[in-house]
Amino acid sequence: MISLVHSPEYAKHQNETHPENQKRLEVLMNSLRKKGLLEKLNVHQPDPASEEDILRVHTSEYLKNLKTFTEQGGGYLDFDTYASPQSYEIAKLAAGGAIKASELTLEQYNFAYSMARPPGHHATSNSAMGFCLINNLAVAIKYMMKKYAIKKFLILDIDAHYGNGTAEIFYQDPHVLYISIHQDPRTIFPGKGFVEETGNGAGEGFNINIPMTPGSRTSDYIYVLEKILEPVCNEFRADFYYLDVGFDGHKEDPLSSLLLDDNFYPWIAGHMRKITPRMTLILEGGYTNNAMAQSNLKMIKVLMDNSITERKRQAHGNHQIKDETKNIYKQITNTFSPFFTF
C-alpha cells in the first residue's frame, strides 16, 4: 500500500520565472489524475512542522531571519534561491509533509510519498541554498528519532545534485547512513559530494558519495547501485528507509548533464522494495515537466503493484557501461572497505 502526502497550499511558494515553481507539482498531480492513479492513492494533507521540530535541525537565528525576510515581502536569499511572502509558512508545511509521510510509513502503509515543495536537501542548518529553505528530510528524521526513538536511518538520494545540506547535518552521526548518487561535483552545483567526503568523527564511513560523470546513463547507475546498495544496506541494518527523489538526472532535464531515462525511476523503486518492505519517499528536484511526470508515474506504479518486477534488462538497454563508471565503483570500494564489505 502507498499513500501520498500533498497540499494545494504549496502553490503559495511561487516565482513563475524560476525553474522551481508550482507547475512542477501541478504536472505531477495532473498526470496521476489523468491516468486514474490519484483515486487509487490515499492522499493525506500535511500539518506544518512546528518551530520546535525545525529547531532540531536549523538554528534559531536562521529561522528568525527567514521568517522576517518573508514577512517583509521576500525576494532572493542568494543568487538562485527565492522566498515569496508566504514561503516561510509553506516551507514549514513541506517539512510537515515529510513528517506526515514518515509517520504513515511507520504506522499504516508500506510506502508514503511526500510530494511537496519547496525542496529541502540543500538547506544547511544555518542557510537556505539551491532552491531549498528548510531541510524537510532532516526535520523528519530528527522528529522520528525524538518521538519514536528510532535509532538507525538510511537515505538514498538520487537527485542529480548532491544533498549537501542533508550530508552536513548528519556528517558526524553514525546512526544516519546517507548515500547520494549524483553528477560529478566538478561539473555541477553545489561543488561538493566527492567520494573522499566520507563523514567525520563517529560519522566517518556513513556518508557515501557516488559522483557520476556527465553523460552517465541508466545502465551506469544500475551497474553501480546493484553492487553497492545491497551489501551496504545488509550490513548497516537500518530501522527506517528514505528515498530522496530527484528527477533532474533525466536526460531531458535542463539542470544536469546526466542521461537517465524513464526506466531508471521504476527500477530504483523496485530495487529498494527488494531491500526493504517499508520506505518513505521525499520529493526533491526535477525541472522538465513531461519527463518528470512520466518517471514519477512509472515509479509510483511499481510501488502500488507488487506484481510489477524490475525491468532490469530493459533498463540496462544496449548501452555499455562507461569505464569511468567502473572506476568510480572501484574508488568507492577502496575508500569504504574499512566500513563495509562489497
The reply to whether 319 belongs to the active site is no
Task: Say which of 122, 161, 250, 316 is annotated catalytic.
Answer: 122
- DSSP helix/strand/coil, 202: helix
CA distances from 139 to 1, 169, 177, 224 (A): 24, 10, 16, 29
- DSSP helix/strand/coil, 284: coil
Name every residue whose Cβ is closer than 8 Å to that of residue 8 and which is 6 or more positions away in sequence: none
Q: Long-range contacts of range 13-16, CB-CB < 8 Å, 24 or more positions apart?
A: 13/83, 13/84, 13/86, 13/87, 13/90, 13/91, 13/94, 13/117, 13/118, 14/84, 15/82, 15/84
Beta strands 240-245 and 42-44, pairing class:
unpaired
| Nearest Cα residue to 280 out of 310, 235, 240 | 240
Name every residue whose Cβ is closer than 8 Å to that of residue 127 and which is 6 or more positions away in sequence: 62
Beta strands 111-114 and 153-157, pairing class:
unpaired
Catalytic residues: 122
